[in-house]
Amino acid sequence: MLPTRQQDNTGLEEAYYRLFREFFDKAEKKRRWSIRDDIPWDQVNPKLNPAIADVLETFCTVELYLPDYIEKAWPLLRHSRGRTWFHANWGYEEAKHSMAMGDWLIASGQRTEEQLRAVETQVSQYQWNLPHDSPIGMVLYGMTQELATFLHYRNLRQCVENEPVGDPALSKILKLISVDERAHHNFYLHVAKLYLERDRHGTIEALRRVIHTFKMPAVDMLADSRRRVQAIKELKIFDEDMFFTDVVKPLLFELGIEWAEFRERKPNRRSISAPSLP
């Protein structure tokens, strides 16, 4: 793949910017929401299953690596208007997700402000690094990760609503976040199609690498990471089977890639299977 600044001769960068403007205009019209005004905070349930709060804390903590997500990707994006503006908008929305989840943890009494500050202090001692070092690698990783993240929030919301006494506030937060994450995924999906149109073989090869090495961001950097991942599996929020059936297969279908084409490889290359979570 050509470096970002050299791809204008294919029309990719201008197409990328047009996609961003469509994404942004739709977000301004249909998706913007307020933590203060759009959440029914008076309906927080302090007796909600603590296991749900534990998983929410994990999601909230992963979001605390946002400065790394922004900073580490910036050198790959700096020379592309569409990429930089999308990434800035993405960072704004992810910051809002983190604040909303943290506010619920405190409002419900499941965590204190001091406990959340201690988590922030712990996170600040480590740095997250990019899983891929090319623009196309990060686009395809973002496409995959955002779909997986959408499923995490959607399924956690289902857990909340399956409780004998649910929590309308948390349910609304998770619904709003899920809509945002799905929109992020759809944006990356459309960009991936731009790459496919220009270099189908190279794009599929890059997608193989992303799928084969995929893991959710930063979870393995958290304290008690194995326990946290196990809790996510026990609540049936996400696991290896879901990754294959609800992420990989739908992605290939949406991209118009047949399984035989996707798994085509050199004889000595290892077979591609659904990766384990961190």
Of 268, 139, 273, residue with least CA distance to 212: 273
Lowest average pLDDT, out of 7-21, 80-94, 119-133, 214-228, goes to 214-228
Q: What pLDDT was estimated at residue 147?
A: 97
- Distance (Å, whole) CA 131 – CA 213: 9
**Cβ distance 195 to 134 under 8 Å?**
no
R_g (Cα) of the chain, nearest Å = 19
Q: What pLDDT was estimated at residue 268?
A: 45
- Distance (Å, whole) CA 5 – CA 27: 27
**Cβ distance 275 to 219 under 8 Å?**
no
Q: What mean pLDDT is reported for the chain?
A: 90
Lowest average pLDDT, out of 14-28, 175-189, 227-241, goes to 227-241
Q: Is residue 7 part of a domain?
A: no
Of 26, 31, 24, 57, residue with least CA distance to 175: 31
- Distance (Å, whole) CA 144 – CA 2: 22
Of 158, 29, 136, residue with least CA distance to 83: 136
Q: Is residue 24 part of a domain?
A: no
**Cβ distance 189 to 143 under 8 Å?**
yes
CATH number at residue 248: 1.10.620.20
Specify the pTM.
Answer: 0.90
Q: Is residue 204 part of a domain?
A: yes
Average pLDDT over residues 256-276: 64
pLDDT band at 266 (very low <50, low <70, confident <90, very high): low
Of 206, 220, 215, 180, residue with least CA distance to 35: 180
pLDDT tens column, 193-252: 999 999 999 999 999 999 999 999 877 666 677 888 898 999 999 999 999 999 999 999
Cα 73 vs. chain centroid, distance in angstroms?
Answer: 14
pLDDT tens column, 150-177: 999 999 999 999 999 999 999 999 999 9
Of 14, 16, 31, residue with least CA distance to 177: 31
Q: Is residue 16 part of a domain?
A: no
Helix-, strand-, coil-residue percentages of the chain, each rounded to 5: 70, 0, 30
pLDDT band at 4 (very low <50, low <70, confident <90, very high): very low
Q: What pLDDT was estimated at residue 277?
A: 31
Q: What pLDDT was estimated at residue 225?
A: 77
Say which DSSP state 236 is in: T
Domain tally, the chain = 1
Amino acid letter for position 50: P
Q: What pLDDT was estimated at residue 265?
A: 62
Q: What pLDDT was estimated at residue 7?
A: 46
125 vs 220, higher pLDDT: 125
Domain that holds residue 198: 45-262
Q: Is residue 138 part of a domain?
A: yes
pLDDT tens column, 85-123: 999 999 999 999 999 999 999 999 999 999 999 999 988
pLDDT score of 127 more than 60: yes
Q: Is residue 271 part of a domain?
A: no
Q: Is residue 6 part of a domain?
A: no
Q: Is residue 31 part of a domain?
A: no
Average pLDDT over residues 125-137: 92
Average pLDDT over residues 47-58: 95
